[in-house]
Amino acid sequence: MILAQRVTQKEHQTELDFLRDLGEKKVKSLKIAYELTERELALILKLHRRSKILDKDWINKFIADN
C-alpha cells in the first residue's frame, strides 16, 4: 500500500512538473477557464498525454485559440 502511494505521489509530481514547464500563466488560464484543481488538471493532462494527443505545441495552440 505504501509503495502504491509513493508511485501515485511520484506520478502526480511528474504531472505537476509538466504543468510548471508550461508556464504559470498558461496553467492559471486553464485552471480558471475550467474551474479545475491542480489535481484535476494534472489528471486530464496525464490522460491526454497517455493517448498521445497532447504535447506542448497542442497546449500552446489551444490556449492561443481561446
- Whether 2 is covered by a domain: the verdict is no
Cell output for 34: 475550467
* 24-47 exposure pattern, b = at least 16 Cβ within 10 A, e = fewer: eebbeebeeeeeeeeeebbeebbe
Between the alpha carbon of residue 55 and those of residues 3, 4, 5, 29, 36, the distances in Å are 29, 27, 27, 17, 19
Residue 38: pLDDT above 70?
Answer: yes
Predicted local distance difference test score (pLDDT) of residue 66: 57
- Whether 61 is covered by a domain: the verdict is yes
- Whether 56 is covered by a domain: the verdict is yes
- Whether 59 is covered by a domain: the verdict is yes
**What confidence category does residue 51 fall into, taking pLDDT thresholds of 50, 70 and 90?**
low
Short-list 61, 23, 64, 35, CA closest to 44: 35
Q: Give me the domain span that covers residue 23.
A: 17-65
> What backbone torsions phi and psi does residue 36 show, to the nearest 5 degrees?
-105, 150
- Whether 3 is covered by a domain: the verdict is no
**What confidence category does residue 56 fall into, taking pLDDT thresholds of 50, 70 and 90?**
low
**Domains in the chain: how many in total?**
1
**What confidence category does residue 46 fall into, taking pLDDT thresholds of 50, 70 and 90?**
confident
